[in-house]
A and B are shown apart, each in its own frame.
Chain A
Amino acid sequence: MEVTVNGTQRHLAEGQTLADLLAELGAAPEHVAVEHNGAILDRADFPGLVLRPADRLEIVRFVGGG
């Protein structure tokens, strides 16, 4: 299935969760903020969120330094 991640189309296997996608991207769940179809998600929801075709995701990754 196809989803949109940060404006770019991405092919995912059926049944993939957000946590799976983050692992694929190499992004630590505690270092990201994620918007899923326009709504910001709570981190606790990442493992249980099964992605569906045409989902739109904005994933903001934070790296250290301030």
Chain B
Amino acid sequence: MEGVSACVGEGASATIAVRVNEREHHVALGTSLFALRDRVKPGADVVLHNGFPIRTDQLLSPGDTVVLIRRGEVPAREELEALLVSRHGPGVHERVRRARVGVAGCGGLGSTLAVALARTGVGGLVLVDFDVVEPSNLNRQQFFVDQIGERKVDALAANLARINPYVAIERHCLRLGAGDVPALFAGVDVVAECFDDPAAKAELAGAMRAHLPATPLVTVSGIAGYGPAQAIASRRVLGNVFLIGDGESGARPGRGLLAPRVTVAAGHQASVVLRLLLGAIADDEGG
């Protein structure tokens, strides 16, 4: 009891500090896990003690972390954000929650990138796509059979809300032209180019440089087929334009778009976006 005696004040009982759903709680020494659960979240179905699911009661020790979950219950914003932070490492959440990212195209790249950014707790996403969900999209895009025929921006917004309901999502169902760029993306921190059509990719690169030259653009070229995943790299190409891909593998008859490489490219893209938001890419550095 030597280590604990320091916590005993005049006339007070000994308390220990534990973290419950990422917030600090002070409990009496000798409090058990289940007693804490019954006080903080009665009827919680899942109790994680220092990261492990627990079925039998035990005493709490100073510094323990406890996560209490009721199945089907959406955590309050503050609590969910705190739980998201818990796996992010220091400094990430505060920065990404204030960020807004433009997603130009919500197909294989855009839907996968948006899922990654929502899971990372990015505060705002501007989704742009003119298309509807088709059966042929399901081989690589983050939609479901029961969403066939829905507008992609709507279906994706619904799926993102199921992952992180606290992302502010702006939807634009239109074919993005150069002239739309200032109105749609003026307030965003980074734009991710996720189009399928190479002319649309090139047009967006030109429009961003013309209208929003200070906003970084993360573009993609060369992700089709089933060549080696490691051929898909990220690099800085022009000023604050970053390019993901192998630069060669265009989609064409006989070389389709498959989930593995599209997912790798979207992961690279999400990584460059996150690194830009965190200020982790120096001015003269690649992606």
Q: Name A's B-contacting residues (CB within 8 A).
A: 28, 30-33, 35, 40, 42-43, 58, 60-66
B198–A62 touching, CB < 8 Å = yes
Q: Which residues of A contact B199 (CB under 8 A)?
A: 30-31, 62
Please provide the chain B residues from 208 to 232 with a CB less than 8 Å away from any CB of chain A in the complex: 209-210, 219-224
Q: Which residues of B contact A33 (CB under 8 A)?
A: 202, 205-206, 209, 238, 241
B222: which of A28, A43, A65 is its contact (CB, 8 Å)? Answer: A65
A64–B250 touching, CB < 8 Å = yes
The reply to whether the CB of B196 lies closer than 8 angstroms to some CB of chain A is yes
B108–A60 touching, CB < 8 Å = no
How many Å lie between the Cα of A35 and that of B238 in the bound state? 7
The reply to whether the CB of B251 lies closer than 8 angstroms to some CB of chain A is yes
User: What are the nearest 3 A-B pairs in CB distance?
Assistant: A63-B250, A65-B251, A40-B209
CB distance from A27 to the nearest CB of B (A): 10
A66–B202 touching, CB < 8 Å = no
The reply to whether the CB of B185 lies closer than 8 angstroms to some CB of chain A is no
Count, A-B residue pairs, CB within 8 A: 88
Q: Which residues of B contact A30 (CB under 8 A)?
A: 198-199, 202-203
A40–B250 touching, CB < 8 Å = no
The reply to whether the CB of B110 lies closer than 8 angstroms to some CB of chain A is yes
B239–A63 touching, CB < 8 Å = no
How many Å lie between the Cα of A31 and that of B204 in the bound state? 11
B197–A64 touching, CB < 8 Å = yes
**Which residue of chain B has its CB nearest to the CB of A30?**
B199
The reply to whether the CB of B10 lies closer than 8 angstroms to some CB of chain A is no
Q: Which residues of A contact B202 (CB under 8 A)?
A: 30-33, 43, 60, 62
**Which residue of chain A has its CB nearest to the CB of B237?**
A60
Q: Which residues of A contact B249 (CB under 8 A)?
A: 63, 65
A66–B107 touching, CB < 8 Å = yes
How many Å lie between the Cα of A61 and that of B108 in the bound state? 20
How many Å lie between the Cα of A31 and that of B197 in the bound state? 9
With A40-B238, A60-B238 in contact, is A65–B206 under 8 Å at CB? no
CB distance from A23 to the nearest CB of B (A): 16
B241–A60 touching, CB < 8 Å = yes
Q: Which residues of B contact A66 (CB under 8 A)?
A: 105, 107-110, 194-197, 201, 220, 223, 257, 262
Cross-chain pairs A/B with CB under 8 angstroms, 16 sampled: A30-B203, A31-B198, A33-B241, A43-B202, A58-B237, A58-B238, A60-B205, A60-B238, A60-B243, A61-B221, A62-B201, A63-B249, A65-B222, A65-B249, A65-B262, A66-B195
**Which residue of chain A has its CB nearest to the CB of B141?**
A66
The reply to whether the CB of B43 lies closer than 8 angstroms to some CB of chain A is no
CB distance from B206 to the nearest CB of A (A): 6
**Which residue of chain B has its CB nearest to the CB of A66?**
B196
